[in-house]
Amino acid sequence: MARRGSVWAAAVRTPVGACSAVLLAGVVLLAVLAPLLWGDAAAAIDTDAIGQGPSGAHWFGTDSLGRDLFFRTLVATRLSVGLAVLATAIGVGVGVLLGTLPSVLPRWAGRLLTAAVNVAVAFPGLLLALFLAVIFGVGTQGAVLAIAFAVAPAFARLVQTLSASVAGRDFIAAARVSGVGRIRLLARHVLPNIGEPLVVNATIGAGSALLAFAGLSFLGIGVQAPDYDWGRLLREGLDGIYVNPVAALGPCVAVVLAGLAFNLVGETVAGVVGVRTRASRRAAGPLPAPRPAAVAEPADDAVLVVENLQVAFPGPSGWTVPVRGVSFSVRPGEAIGVVGESGSGKSLTALAVSRLIETPGVVTADRLEFAGTPLAAASDRELGTSLAMVFQDPMTSFNPARRVGRQLAEVSEQHHGLSRRAAFARAIDRLTAVRVPAAARRARQYPHEFSGGMRQRAMIGMGLMGQPKLIIADEPTTALDVTVQRQVLRLLARTREAEGAAILLISHDIAVVSQTCERMLVMYAGRVVEDLPTGSPAQHPYTRALLATTVDLGTDRDEPLAVIPGRPPEPDQVPDGCAFADRCPLASERCRTEDPVLEPTADAHRVACWHPQVSVLSGRSQEEGAA
Amino acid sequence: MTTAAAPAGLRGSPWPAFAARRLARFAVSLWALLTAAFLMIHLVPGDPVRASLGLTAPAELVAAKRAELGLDDPLWVQYGHYVRGLLSGDFGTSMASGQPVAQVIGDRLPSTLQLAVLAFAVVVVVAVPVGVCFAVLTRGGRRRGAELGFTSVSVFLAAIPEFLVAVGLVALLAVGLGWFPVAGSDDVSAYVLPVAALAVGPAAVLSRMVRVELLSVLGADFVRTARAKRLPARLVYVRHALPNALTATLTLGGLMLTGMVAGTVLVENVFAWPGLGSTIVASILQKDYPLVQGIVLVYGVGVLLVNLLVDVVLGLLDPRSAIREA
């Protein structure tokens, strides 16, 4: 409970909180002082100034007895706010009673009460208040009770929900075990712990009660003459709205301001209670300059050329750079695998080279070319027809609200200018090509009627609506079971042969990559640390460790599974030197201070390491790589 | 989700159980409503007939009226009469006008329904495009200024109750500029202000909801797929994102409809609209209890029906909601 003071103070420190707190203080001050200061002025009858419009003497004009409406509006603050607070207090009291009784009463009575509260909560508060006003009678007292009992069910529900969440906590269980009675448990342990949200909600509730009370008085059911609150003034003002609109608008503004004051103070505190820290999303300063990361690789006819690619996102304390200078190229028809742990930047690289990173993410590169044109300048038609994407989760990558065939057909409607019918026919043809059985029927089905493997094949089919030069497959088999995984990989390989498309296969599974690809890029902490032909011996300690962790049927089950100790650095905490140094058995002083660059060490082999293991490896990992 | 998800829900078959449970709850609520309306007249302190006819009414008249209303019978006999009457469409007789309550309701209900349905339509037609626009403009933390402006304006508008909006509109557009009539429902222009007054707040709430829902859908995988197909942005938003953002919108929309039922009471009184709302207030002030009782029933049943409808539609659209309740 010591927390509450700090929470309210924290709320007041926000701009909205400060404004609403000042507003609320003003309303309360007015409620206390206005009747003392201007009570007489508001009651003074002036038969010479009956029903006048606004003037210097009477800012809001005068009513039918010549009384000053500005002063009456100010003086009415006390009754309006006071009655609203009174009604809320009674309502919260009754609500707490109704909400806690079920835990004290016999079981059947408790259930009955809960059911009654549930029925009552379904009705809008104003309807309840109207109904109750009939029972309690027209007038101030009746209206207070009506509003109190109308808000009570909502508070009862709140108390039930809150105490249910408290009841599960350890200290309640401890108290119960130590033999504390139910009533004492409630009073000493449960209620104090739900006090804070209850007070917050009561503050907001007072705002609503104020509006509801104004409503009842406006209808003539609440405060009766000669007393007056804002609702009553509004009612009287509306009658003469042609003569003096301000007479109605004045009380309107007063009600809105006071209601807002209560609401906003409550909401701000609720916000502070709920969300303790709010990250500022403003980016700090300019993008950091990329460090030199790779020696450029010669590429003449490449489908995809990536040089020094960097992907950055603005964070609360500066830029986070999950991809830090990646360089590679993909030749026509080539299959390249990208491997690495999750968070190594594989998927972001894939999204960046397919121009799918959205603001606030920023992609920079020395060269980023697809099929000979800079990616940034490539047309949507070019990318839509010759760059195919296959995403990780086939369950979520199709729009659940559209038929599969239509989702494929869209590509041709958009980029080939085909008619709906022709595009759909092509979609069926493509589904047949990726071996979706009964394609004509399947095309008319929705994604949830497809199995996971079939959806992934349909996704490949979607890429085949055009003539892909490059298929980027981001973990295409991770969400599938092993047999289906094999089918999908085989389909990718066949597609590559049939269409002459290059493949960029992102996977955390080295076995998958070595089956499908002839080259492998190993990524670590946003960089390519090794680029090697699959099967050739790894030189980077990380790649070797990664290969050692692969498991297959030949793995000796008596040996403990190989793991790489430690964790990769967070993208915003990458060290100055080699990012793998902390986990590397070979790390030297140089590794910790200087970041190695990706350099060719042998034919078609590049490594970023100060201590590459060039010697022929002995043992299992090499055979694994060749498998 | 979509209507297409319904068959999957049926196959898993939480649906019949859900429907049965939901109908049972409707029946219980309906019974509670009937009973509360019945008890109302007996909970009024003192003699309701004396209160209604006035202190000066002769004792014989009061006694005759009491007998006519059956107030001298034992409570359970009266309850029986009451329920039997309701089943045969007999809501009693107005103490003030002597008209059958059912007839008064029949006369007044259409005006109220027109108002509520029109306002609801306006809310949907305005809120969905506005919400979509601001979701698109402010996606991914873009245009912080627009986001702040939209949020503040919608919070402010949502905080003003409909009858105050109504008074403001009357003062500004009817009295100040003279564009619309102040009261009555004679021609089309008379609908503009009441409908606007009812629609402003809910439209603000709903557009905020649409924006938040759409933003979360824009982060979904299938939207990325649509972008990977290089579809034009408008197709990505309208064809792929929007239909998937409408479930939650619909739920809230339905709940707002019940709020609007209550809102009509106040707005009708501002505009002297000849609907149920102005009638119930007049009859409360006149202590015309049978009429109040009848109108309370109509409002209550309206609220219950809307709630039922929302749950059923939601269950059809998203089978998970039906399962979640089990």
Q: For A142-201, how does the pLDDT look when each residue is reduced to its tens digit (9 = 90+)?
A: 899 999 999 999 899 888 888 877 776 777 777 777 777 777 777 777 777 788 788 888
A23 touching B, CB under 8 A? no
Predicted confidence band at A279 (pLDDT cuts at 50, 70, 90)? very low
Q: Closest Cα partner for A294 from A528, A519, A569, A594?
A: A528
Between strands A502-506 and A519-524, the pairing is: unpaired
Q: Which residues of B touch A399 (CB under 8 A)?
A: 222, 225-226, 240, 244
CB contact set of A253 (below 8 Å; sequence gap of 6+): none
Question: Which tens digit of pLDDT belongs to each residue from A93-104?
Answer: 999 999 888 877
Whole-angstrom distance between the N-terminal and C-terminal Cα of chain A? 63
Residue with tokens 């916000």: A271
Residue A380: which of B230, B284, B296 has the nearest Cβ?
B230
Look at B240 and A402 and tell me if their CB atoms are within 8 Å.
yes
CA atoms of A220 and B286, how far apart (whole Å): 11
- CB contact under 8 Å between A248 and B265, yes or no, is no
Query: Residue A119 is nearest to which of B32, B171, B269, comparing CB atoms?
Result: B32
Hey, of B1, B11, B42, B164, which one would you mutate to test binding to chain A, going by the most A CBs within 10 A of its CB? Answer: B164
Tell me what pLDDT residue B295 has: 92
Mean pLDDT computed over B25-32: 90
User: A213-217, A253-257, A540-544, B186-190: which range is least confident on average?
Assistant: B186-190
| Bridge partners for A470 per DSSP | A387, A502
User: Which residues in chain A have Cβ-Cβ distances shorter than 8 Å to B243?
Assistant: 401
Q: What is the DSSP string of B62-118?
A: HHHHHHHHTTTS-HHHHHHHHHHHHHTT---B-TTT--BHHHHHHHHHHHHHHHHHH
Task: Look at residue B323 and tell me whether its pLDDT is greater than 60.
Answer: no
Tell which wins on pLDDT, B248 or B128: B128
pLDDT class of A626 with cuts at 50, 70, 90: very low
Q: Does A218 touch chain B if contact means CB atoms closer than 8 Å?
A: yes
The larger pLDDT score, comparing residue B323 to residue A602, is at: A602
Residue of chain A with shortest Cα separation from B27? A119
Contact across the interface for B229 and A410, Cβ inside 8 Å: yes
Of chain B residues 130-169, which have a CB less than 8 A from chain A?
139-142, 156, 159-161, 163-164, 167-168
Q: From A354, which residue of chain B is nearest by alpha-carbon distance?
A: B228
In this complex, is the C-beta atom of B217 within 8 Å of any C-beta atom belonging to chain A? no
Cα–Cα dist A190/A499, whole Å = 69
A121 touches B at CB < 8 Å = no
Cβ–Cβ contact A142 with B under 8 A: no
Residues A359 and A365: their CA atoms lie apart, in Å, by 16
Q: What is the pLDDT of residue A273?
A: 62
CA angle A465, A467, A468 (to 5 degrees): 100
Helix or strand run (H / E) with residue A310: strand A304-315
What residues of chain B lie within 8 A of the CB of A370, using their CB?
A: none
Res. B9 pLDDT band, cuts 50 70 90: very low
| Region class of A283: left (phi > 0), else alpha (psi between -120 and 50), else beta | beta
Q: What is the rounded average pLDDT of the residues B165-171? A: 85
Average pLDDT, chain B: 82
What does pLDDT average to over chain A?
A: 83
CB atoms closer than 10 angstroms to residue B323: 15
Please report, to the nearest 10 degrees, the dihedral formed by the alpha carbons of residues A336, A341, A346, A348 taken in order: 170
In the structure, what pLDDT confidence band is assigned to residue A343 with cuts at 50, 70 and 90?
confident
CA pair distance A266, A271, nearest whole angstrom: 9
* Model confidence, pTM: 0.77
CB-CB: which of B44, B175, B221 is closest to A242?
B175
Beta-carbon-side half-sphere exposure of residue A308 (alpha carbons within 13 Å): 13
- To probe the interface with A, which of B25, B225, B270 has the most A CB atoms within 10 Å? B225
- Kindly report, residue by residue over B33-82, the tens digit of the pLDDT: 999 888 888 888 777 777 777 777 788 888 887 787 777 778 888 888 88
Taking the C-alpha atoms of residue A177 and residue A174, their distance in angstroms, rounded to an integer, is 5
Whole-number pLDDT of residue B199: 92
Span A469-491, average pLDDT = 86
Residues 6+ apart with CB under 8 A from A283: A314, A315, A318, A319, A360
A122, A126, A245: residue with CB nearest B175: A245
* Distances from the Cα of A579 to the Cα of A339, A608, A609, B217, angstroms: 16, 11, 10, 36
pLDDT band at B324 (very low <50, low <70, confident <90, very high): very low
Q: Cβ of B63: how many Cβ atoms within 10 Å?
A: 12
Position A618 pLDDT exceeds 50:
no
Please tell me if residue A257 touches chain B, with a CB cutoff of 8 Å: no
pLDDT digits (tens, 9 = 90+) for B175-226: 777 777 766 656 777 888 899 999 998 899 889 888 888 888 888 889 999 9
Q: Provide the pLDDT for residue B11.
A: 47
- Tell me if B5 and A123 make a contact (CB, 8 A cut-off): no
Q: Categorize the per-residue pLDDT at B119 as very low, low, confident or very high, splitting at 50, 70 and 90.
A: very high
Confidence category of residue A92, pLDDT binned at 50, 70, 90: very high
Determine what percent of chain A is predicted with pLDDT higher than 90.
21
